Every structure is written in C-alpha cells, then in structure tokens.
Amino acid sequence: MRTGWNVAEVIGVTQETPTARTLRLRLPGLAGHRAGQHVDVRLSAPDGYTAVRSYSVASAWPGDELDLTVEELSDGEVSPYLVHQVAVGDRLEVRGPVGGWFVWDPADPSPVQLIAGGSGVVPLMAMLRAHATADPRSPGAAAPFRLLYSVRSPAAVYYRAELDALARSPLVDVTLVYTREAPPGSRRPPGRLEAPALAASTLTPAENPAVFVCGATAFVETVADWLIEAGHSASRIKTERYGGTGTSPGTRP
C-alpha cells in the first residue's frame, strides 16, 4: 500500500461514453496494483481550496501505470475537470492505490460473479482484465467469470469492444441489462433489473461463487438482498457503493 500524496502524469485519455473517459496515469515508484483497488485524486485551486475524490482503478497490470475511468457528475467539483479538461502531460496528485477487501486474488480458484450498475463496472473490469492476463499456473486463471452489467443504454456501456472480446473466452460470460433503451434486435425489452433476471443470469449458490457487486447504494443493497434470498452466503458477497441512494433495480425503494 502506498501512503501519502504522489504526483502522477497523464499519459493517455480514452473517451468511453459522452460523459465518461479513462485517464491513463504513470505513477513513478508504483509496482503494480490489485484488481478492485482505488485511488484518491486531489485537485488544488490557486486560492488554496482543495477537493479530494476516490476513483476505482480500471486496469490490472504490473508496473507504474494505471487507468482511472471517471463518470461526469452534473454537480461535481472534480469529475467535470477530469472528463473534459485534463490533457496528456498534465499532472495530478494521487494517493494509493488502496484497498484489500474488494479485490480479486488470482490465487483463488473459485468461480466469480461480477454484478455492476452503471459506472460500478470499473473495478469489476479490473478483475476481468486481471483474470485474462493471470499467470496460467495460478489457480484463478481457470476460474469461470460472469459479468451482469446493468446500464441505461448502449451508448452508456463502458469498454464495449473489450467486453465483447473477453466474452469470446469460454471462461467468460457477459450479460447486459438495458434499463432505458435496448439495442435493435435485443431479446429483452428495456427495464430495470428484477430478481428473476438476476437469478437467470448469474452463477448459482450451488456453484459457491465469489460475488462482487458495485454500483449506486440502492442498487447494491437490493442486489445483495436478492442474492441472499436466492441462497448465496452473505460471507461470499463483497460490495462497493458510490454516490447517494441512486436508483434501485426492480421496484424496491
């Protein structure tokens, strides 16, 4: 774990959606990071005002580079700057990566169920990438992975081309649930995620998967409740939340 603030250089930017983009940072002295960790970013104004926000790391590779995917918040102080103004060559103050609980370990041979709501897919993408590049000798390299990704519309999907490529592996299954607008030819009309669809698209309790759920608070709480009601052990479910109450799947408040 790295402590204290360090200066990272922006070495690449990728637009993921109209309101989100990925920043590739080079952080001297970083010796890799774990899939699922996050960093703090600090912006400082000339008058001394500072704002700090936490962002999940999307990448999972060794070395001194990492990717942050940032979704713009309409009332945000930090995210609009990161999404629209930061350019290659700029420098950002960064603390971390940190976090040792909501992480995937390649030494774990368990099947893995990932469930994302909106931008909650970011740390789960790090886990998918870590799985794809894991040492073939590690127990987790042969573990089946499933991703259930709830997203508003096709235009809002992060990492679409890479997800399609990963899903061609026999070990990876990707299911997208569109809540507001589905693509032409979709077998499922747009609508919020419901408990039956969750059960039909995820690994079963009998398979005893390690489950990672990330998204807005209400989404995460509702999905976790449904998983436990379906028979999953609470000890096998790890959650990470962002923002306020957000919008829950299904019809629960």
Q: Kindly tell me if the per-residue pLDDT of 3 is higher than 90.
A: no
Name every residue whose Cβ is closer than 8 Å to that of residue 180 and which is 6 or more positions away in sequence.
152, 153, 190
The domain that holds 160 is classified in CATH as 3.40.50.80
Of residues 249 and 165, more confidence is placed in 165
Q: Are residues 206 and 167 in the same domain?
A: yes
Of 68, 98, 128, which marks where a domain is finished?
Answer: 98
What is the mean predicted confidence (pLDDT) over 135-149?
A: 97
Measured over the CA atoms of residue 202, residue 205, residue 210 and residue 214, the dihedral's sign is: positive
What is the mean predicted confidence (pLDDT) over 78-85?
A: 95
Take residue 30 and report the two structure tokens written for it: 């970083």
Q: What is the pLDDT of residues 91-135, one digit of tens each?
A: 999 999 999 999 999 999 999 999 999 999 999 999 999 999 999
Q: Are residues 66 and 12 in the same domain?
A: yes
Q: Are residues 200 and 128 in the same domain?
A: yes
Instruction: Look up the pTM and report it.
Output: 0.93
Q: Kindly tell me if the per-residue pLDDT of 248 is higher than 90.
A: no
The domain that holds 82 is classified in CATH as 2.40.30.10
pLDDT at 182: 94
What is the mean predicted confidence (pLDDT) over 181-201?
A: 91
Q: What range defines the domain where residue 79 resides?
A: 5-98
Residue 249 domain flag: no
8 sits in which H/E element: strand 5-17
Q: Kindly tell me if the per-residue pLDDT of 65 is higher than 60.
A: yes
Q: What DSSP string describes 181-234?
A: -PPTT-SS-S----HHHHHHTS--GGG--EEEEEEEHHHHHHHHHHHHHTT--G
Q: How far apart are CA 66 and CA 26, in angstroms?
A: 7
Count how many domains the chain has: 2
